Structure 1
Amino acid sequence: MKVWQLREMTSDELAHRIRELEEETFNLRMQKAIKELSNSKRFKEIKKEIARIKTIINERKLGIDKSFSKTEE
């Protein structure tokens, strides 16, 4: 998910997204344990997305305005 899409989400939606990603990480770990993992790159993608979400949540708590529109990128 792109950063601008995450910034448009509410804090509750972001928290829900983190929970979804953590569940997906758990499922991937189980697949890895039984040797059925097909996309090991997904671990890295999930880790980065969780970090992006946590950064956005922290920016909101600190009152930092980083709201850029998609066209400004």
Structure 2
Amino acid sequence: MNAQELRDKTPDQLRDTLVQLKKEAFNLRFQQATGQMENTARMRQVRRDVAKVKTVLNEKAAAAASEA
């Protein structure tokens, strides 16, 4: 997931993506705790994707606030 794809989405779509990523992060933490995790690199990727989505949401909110 790259930043340009995220910037093309609406804030509602970004919030939905954020919810999905947080659910995935929870499931990955659960898998790690039970010893069932196969791809440990996925945790890092999900955390970074969450950060990207939050950054784009904050950019959109700041742009909307400056216009108003």
* Superposed pair shares fold, TM > 0.5: yes
Q: CA deviation at 1:61?
A: 1.2
Which position in structure 2 is the counterpart of 1:36?
36
CA–CA separation in structure 1 for the residues paired with 2:36 and 2:55: 32
Amino-acid identity (%): 33
Structure 1 ranges of 4+ moved more than 2 A:
none
Match of 1:51 in 2: 51
Bigger share in helix: 2
Q: Which residue of 2 aligns with 1:5?
A: 5
Letter in 1 for 2:52: R
Which ranges of structure 1 fall in alignment gaps of 5 or more residues?
65-73
Number of residue pairs matched by the alignment:
64
Rounded Cα–Cα distance in structure 1 between residues aligned with 2:17 and 2:52: 11
> Which residue identity lines up with residue 53 of structure 1 in the other structure?
V
TM-score (norm 2): 0.87
For 2:23, the aligned partner's letter is E
CA distance in 2: counterparts of 1:60 and 1:25, whole angstroms: 24
